[in-house]
Amino acid sequence: MTQELIEKSKKFLWLPFTQMKDYDENPFIIESGEGIKVKDINGKEYYDGFSSVWLNVHGHRKKELDAAIKKQLGKIAHSTLLGMTNVPATELAEKLIEISPEKLTRAFYSDSGAEAMEIALKMAFQYWQNIGKREKQKFISMQNGYHGDTIGAVSVGSIALYHQVYGPLMFNSFKAPIPYVYRSESGDPAQCRDECLATLEQLLIENHQEIAALTIESIVQGAAGMIVMPEGFLVGVRELCTKYGVLMIVDEVATGFGRTGKMFACEHESVQPDIMAIGKGITGGYLPIAATLATEEIYLAFYDDYEKLKTLFHGHSYTGNQLGCAVALENLRLFESEKIVEQVAKKSEDLHLLLNELKSLPHVGDIRQLGFMCGIELVHSKETKELFPAEKRIGYQVTLKMRELGMLTRPLGDVVVFMPPLVSTREDLRAMVMIIKEAINEVTNGVRAVEV
């Protein structure tokens, strides 16, 4: 039965973000989960060290979340949001507006983070069209940004490995530099921040008349390798957007819902976005719901007699799905009753101390952390910060070793991602960090032995 399933997986599937040749060498099928662990079809258990790719909040098979879906199923599974609404989608919208930055007053649903960003781009573009500033048609996006994999989201993304091949399909956007302190010349966060802000301001001075919006991840660039922006950067970007009349689209898909120790990461700097994309943790990691939140000013630019054709002509079949919205509502109720955000803020101090223990490893170059969002950058040489040769795929090897040792995650190049479910206890965190340590040691020692 087990072998048969593995053969089927190799024969019929094509997996996302996966070189299938790698999969065929290391096939892997999950059958169940409980708490912060998942179990494969052979019955072996693993820590869900990346929250099933940055989603999971309360662990798997959380009693209350399971019950919320069953309860909703007793009423209806899905009906459309085109021209009408449903009960949980309406209640969830109120809740989302209540917990998000106060300038945001309207929720537009979709099914994934990429779609939420896609909608944000169309909203920003059409906003200026609708108010008669037709020259504002371009975007500024951040170097190393990642906003999902649809073509619009890819156009404002800039991770060469994922995006370069699609170059001819993309619309152009101006790229602004992002402060990557570890790899900056000065290594000084404030200097790095100020240089980047100065470059951005120059770009705005020269082009603001034709720029509709700027896109930026909130405080942490996730897919770029968990790069944490220096203090004052995001709020500096907010000030420049306001000064030059450019909408600020903040992508909280990865950072939202408690991940960084605040409900939304932009709260660390009291930033009020004009448009905010949310997804991932919104359903506790259960079902595909995402949303684009907008200010009343933007909403009103679309509100008019139908013949004016100011409608936002965008929607998806499953938008506002009842099962998803019902579980999202229960997820947010648990955020309150279990004080999830406060817990993450507190436990992330313990996590910081634990991660410090990895600092002395000979190939750990940089450890970046905000809340439960962490990246461990592996380097060939700590002095020169020189990378391992790409073909060694050290990050990938380390995560395979971790799997052997009972923990799942995926690397971003040679950055090992650590994004545990938000309910992980101190003991869980310690156990997971020890697995990371052992895996890094085993793999990087092996590399040295080969070179000697």
Ligand X SMILES: *Cc1c(COP(=O)(O)O)cnc(C)c1O
Q: In the complex, which residues of this chain contact ligand X (CB under 6 A)?
A: 112-114, 117, 146-148, 217, 222-223, 251, 253-254, 279
CA angle centred on 356, ends 351 and 360, rounded to 5°: 155
Give Dmax (Cα) for the chain: 75
Distance in Å, CB of 55 to ligand X, minimum: 9
Sign of CA dihedral 396, 397, 401, 404: positive
Nearest distance in Å: CB 451, ligand X: 35
Least distance between ligand X and beta carbon 147 (Å): 5
Q: Which amino acid is present at 95?
A: K
When the beta carbons of 39 and 316 are compared against ligand X, the nearer one is: 316
Cβ distance to ligand X smaller for residue 146 or 257? 146
Of residues 111 and 330, the one with the C-beta less far from ligand X: 111
Q: Output the DSSP codes for 328-396.
A: HHHHHHHHHHTTHHHHHHHHHHHHHHHHHTTTTSTTEEEEEEETTEEEEEE-S-TTT-PPPPGGG-HHH
Neighbour count for residue 151 (Cβ, 10 Å): 12
Comparison of 291 and 354: residue with beta carbon closer to ligand X? 291
Report residue 324 as tokens: 């998803």
The SS3 of residue 221 is strand
Which of residues 114 and 422 has its CB atom nearest to ligand X in the complex? 114
CA 171-177-183 angle, to 5 degrees, is 130
293: left (phi over 0), alpha (psi -120 to 50) or beta: beta
C-beta closer to ligand X: residue 195 or 267: 267
The Cα-based distances of 120 to 113, 184, 219, 433 in angstroms read 10, 31, 18, 37
H or E element, residue 441: helix 426-451
Closest distance to ligand X from the beta carbon of 210 (Å): 25
**In the complex, what is the shortest distance from the CB of residue 206 to ligand X, in angstroms, rounded to a whole number?**
27
Task: State which residue, 238 or 259, has the beta carbon closest to ligand X.
Answer: 259
How far is the C-alpha of 25 from the C-alpha of 70, rounded, in Å?
38
Q: How far is the CB of 221 from ligand X (least distance, A)?
A: 8
Sign of the torsion formed by the C-alpha atoms of 280, 284, 290 and 296: negative
Question: Closer to ligand X at the Cβ: 247 or 379?
Answer: 247
Question: Nearest approach, Cβ of 145 to ligand X (angstroms)?
Answer: 8
Q: Using CB positions, name the residue nearest to ligand X.
A: 113
Give the Cα separation of 436 and 430 in Å (integer): 10
Q: How far is the CB of 112 from ligand X (least distance, A)?
A: 4
Q: Minimum distance between the CB of residue 280 and ligand X, rounded to whole angstroms? A: 6
Minimum separation from the CB atom of position 315 to ligand X (A): 17
Segment holding 121, helix H or strand E: helix 113-130
Place of tokens 């070793």: 401
Q: What angle do CA 164, 170, 175 make, to 5 degrees?
A: 75
In the complex, what is the shortest distance from the CB of residue 82 to ligand X, in angstroms, rounded to a whole number? 21
Give the residue among 113, 105, 366 at the shortest CA–CA distance from 259: 113
How far apart (Å, rounded) are the C-alpha atoms in residues 349 and 354? Answer: 9
Taking the least distance from each CB to ligand X, the nearer of 422 and 443 is 422
- Sheet containing strand 275-278, edge to edge, reads 104-110, 290-295, 275-278, 247-251, 211-217, 138-142, 174-176
Comparison of 112 and 444: residue with beta carbon closer to ligand X: 112
> By C-beta, is 289 or 440 nearer to ligand X?
289
